Structure 1
Amino acid sequence: MTKADLEKRPSQVSAMFDRVSTHYDRTNDVLSLGAAPLWRRQTRLAVKARPGERVLDVAAGTGTMSALFAEDGAKVTALDFSHGMLEEGVRRHGGDAGITFVHGDATQLPFEDGTFDATTISFGLRNVQQPKLALAEMRRVTKPGGRIVVSEFSTVTNPVVRVGYDVYMATLMPLVVRLVSSDPEAYEYLHETIQAWPDQPTLAAWLRGAGFERVKYRNLSSGIAALHKGFVPTGA
């Protein structure tokens, strides 16, 4: 079994997610100390999916966020490059007529220009080998006036919280992972990618570079995670 690393080779990363798909959401809820459901709620509010809208959920995993957008009345396309994640998503949400599961690469989205009213990616951009290209692709398939929401781990802004967070990630999280995960190596990769990920202003700059305007971000849990939102220019 080859461990995924910061090279983020697609074959290795997708294989890793295949292995953890069955218990992925439960493990994340435990490792986040219960914060993950709060982050999902805030992402849902930021996307503001409306009845009849088309929403693209990139790196949708098991479809947890996709199901929330479908509850809001949107027609959701849940895209992921891990067959294991998609199979688990279909097992859980395959009966939801509002969700269509699609296998695909975030850097080569299999959709025409301007297809979606909103595009979103939750804790998946960090796993893409070429994240700027993925943002450009999300910009391409979003309609003029449409929106993007990126929910991702980020840089802790509160010094006190940062000390506690660093201690947790370095010492306590590995112990918890051994108890709740079937693949501890996958969560070593998680820690590595979080440490290497750029801060909030840098990701905001990437979004502007991809062609989004009115880009703003909001910290969640003192910056452990952050929500970035932007819009496609109306005249685009």
Structure 2
Amino acid sequence: MNSQQLNADFSPIAERYDETRNLPNDILNDCYNELEKSQILSRNFSILDAGCGTGQLSIPLIERGYQVTGVDLSDSMLQIASAKCIGQNKAEFIVADVSSLPFKDDSFHMVVVSKLFQHVTKWRNAIDELVRVLKPGGFIILIQDKGAFGNTVRKKFAHFCDNEGFIDRYYGAKSPTEIHEYLINFSTYEQLKTVYAWNKEITFGQALQEIKDRLFAEFWNIPDTDYEKLIFQLENWVNDLPEKRDTKETLQCKLVVGCYRVH
């Protein structure tokens, strides 16, 4: 079994990734400002973006002058990240499995990571690798955006999936608590005091279409025939609402940042 089978591969949705995972740059920059003021992030740092995707975490760091190396299994995602960095000489993007990184020990001052470990079967191995390539006293910065994907339509679809027995839907870690409990074996932990918040508006029709287009890895393990039946249930539910697909929802999103200083 190869890495592509072990982990979620986002190549099929690379061109649409940013439209559904639109973490605001100003929010990220506020986060990085706080990391700098707290002296967790320093200007001479070399940084690894683990599972970097299209470079959402990397780009603001590169624009600040940091040397950033991004790794991801998907070459299609990395091509998009590279295109965002044309003219930048402090960015490098490499196809690599986070469970077996091609770097020497003590290579980086910091690792940034978001929405990775639930998509990696050997997620504990991945954390071990991040610890290995960090310099002594280096930080793993775990950036979690909460609420951005919690729209009512997606929750209803997840409920339908549960009812049909599709409960264990992720390749890797099952909860943030599980990830945290493993990380603190290697580190001391603190959470940034500021919780960065923003609102995101979505219509039920838009949310429905995103699920129909299979844009979310949570549901990729569901066979096509079963998926079609579940979509049929979801469409009927949406169409029975008074405003149907025009129903609007405002999501309250927040960015929670955990800092793990490796022993």
TM-score range, shorter chain: 0.5 to 0.7
Match of residue 167 from structure 1 = 152
Question: Would you say 1:27 and 2:8 are equivalent positions?
Answer: no
Match of residue 78 from structure 2 = 86
The whole-number CA distance in structure 1 between the counterparts of 2:8 and 2:142 is 23
Check whether the contact 1:77–1:99 (CA below 8 A) recurs between aligned residues.
yes
Match of residue 223 from structure 2 = none
Question: Would you say 1:215 and 2:189 are equivalent positions?
Answer: yes
The whole-number CA distance in structure 2 between the counterparts of 1:42 and 1:10 is 35
Larger radius of gyration: 2
Alpha-carbon distance, 1:79 to partner: 0.8
Alpha-carbon distance, 1:116 to partner: 0.5
Amino acid at match of 1:44: Y
After the TM superposition, which of the residue ranges 145-154 and 96-105 deviates more from structure 2?
145-154
Shift of the 225–206 alpha-carbon distance from structure 1 to 2, 3 Å rule, reads farther
Check whether the contact 1:10–1:129 (CA below 8 A) recurs between aligned residues.
no
TM-score normalized by the length of structure 2: 0.61
**Aligned alpha-carbon RMSD (Å):** 3.5
TM-score normalized by the length of structure 1: 0.68
Question: Would you say 1:61 and 2:35 are equivalent positions?
Answer: no
Check whether the contact 1:17–1:82 (CA below 8 A) recurs between aligned residues.
yes
After the TM superposition, which of the residue ranges 94-103 and 216-225 deviates more from structure 2?
216-225
Alignment of 1:1-236 (within 5 A): 10-12=3-5, 16-29=9-22, 36-37=23-24, 40-41=28-29, 44-45=32-33, 48=36, 49-152=41-144, 165=150, 167-171=152-156, 192-193=169-170, 197-200=174-177, 202-209=178-185, 211-212=186-187, 214-217=188-191, 226-233=256-263
Alpha-carbon distance, 1:40 to partner: 3.5
Which consecutive residues of structure 1, in runs of 5 or more, have no partner in the other structure?
Answer: 1-7, 30-35, 157-163, 174-188
- Between the two proteins, the alignment pairs up a number of residues equal to 193
